[in-house]
Structure 1
Amino acid sequence: MNDHDYAAIAARLDRYAAVPDDVLTNVVARNGLCFWAFERAELPELTGDDPPDREVAARLCAGCPVIDECLELDLRTAGPDTLGVWGALPDTDRRALQPVWLRRRGGESR
C-alpha cells in the first residue's frame, strides 16, 4: 500500500470525525462480524510477536458491515500501539495510516 492509498482511506474516514467514541464502540461491538459471526476458537491467534498479514485481515473482515467504523475506532484509541486486525487492516498498515489520518484531523487525536 502506498501513501496515496492511505490518504484515500483517511479521507473516507472523515465522515466519522464527529461521531463520539462510545457510539463507534457500540456500533462495532454490535455489528462487527468478529464479535458474533465466529466462534473465538475459529479465530487465528493474533499476537504482537506474530502480526497478521493482509490476507488474514481480509479474510477475517470479509463482508463486515462496519469496517470503516472499526478502523476509525482503532485509530482513535490505539494509535501507534495497535495490534491485531481492525478495519480489515493489519497493524503495520494502521501504524502507517495513523499519521496520515492525524494530519487530516488537524494533528490531534481524540
Structure 2
Amino acid sequence: MNRDDYEQMAARLDRYAGVPDAVLYRVVTRDGLCFWAFDRTELPELSGQEDVDRELAAWMCAGCPVMDECLELELRTAGESTVGVWGALPDTDRRAVWRVWKVRHPNRRRGGEQP
C-alpha cells in the first residue's frame, strides 16, 4: 500500500465525521461480521509480516457490511495505539491511515463532534 491508498481510505471515512462514537460502536458490534461469525477468543493473530497480515485482515473481514464504520471507530478510539484487525486492515496499515485521517480532521473530538 502507498500514501495514495491511505489518502483514499481516509477520504472515504469523511462521511462519518458527524456520527457519534456511541452510534458507530452500536452499529459495528451489532452488524460486524467478527462479532457474530467468529468465536472472538479463537481469532487468528497477526504475524508481523505485512503481506501475510493484509491477507489475514482481508479474509477475516470479507463480506462484512460495516468495514468503513469499523475503521472509523478504531481510528477515533485507538489512534496510533491500534492493534489487531479492524476495518479489514492490519494495525500497520491502520496506523498509516490514522496519520492521514488525523490531518484531514485536525479538530476531531471523540464522539464525531467538531468544536
Question: Is the TM-score greater than 0.5?
Answer: yes
Distance change >3 Å, CA 108–CA 3, structure 1 → 2: same
Instruction: Report how far residue 38 of structure 1 moved.
Output: 1.5
Partner residue of 2:55?
Answer: 55
Partner residue of 1:66?
Answer: 66
Structure possessing the higher relative contact order (Cα contacts under 8 Å, 6 or more residues apart): 2
Q: 1:102, 1:109 within 8 Å by CA — same for their partners in 2?
A: no
Instruction: Report how far residue 78 of structure 1 moved.
Output: 0.3
CA distance in 2 between counterparts of 1:53 and 1:25 reads: 24
User: Deviation above 4 Å: which 4+ runs of structure 1?
Assistant: none
Amino acid at match of 1:27: V
Q: 2:83, 2:91 within 8 Å by CA — same for their partners in 1?
A: yes
**How many pairs are equivalent?**
107
Tell me the TM-score normalised to structure 2 length.
Answer: 0.86
Q: Tell me the C-alpha RMSD between the 2 structures.
A: 1.6
Amino acid at match of 2:69: E
| Structure 2: runs of 5 or more not aligned | 111-115
Q: How does 1:92-107 map to 2 (within 5 A)?
A: 92-106=92-106
| Structure 1: runs of 5 or more not aligned | none
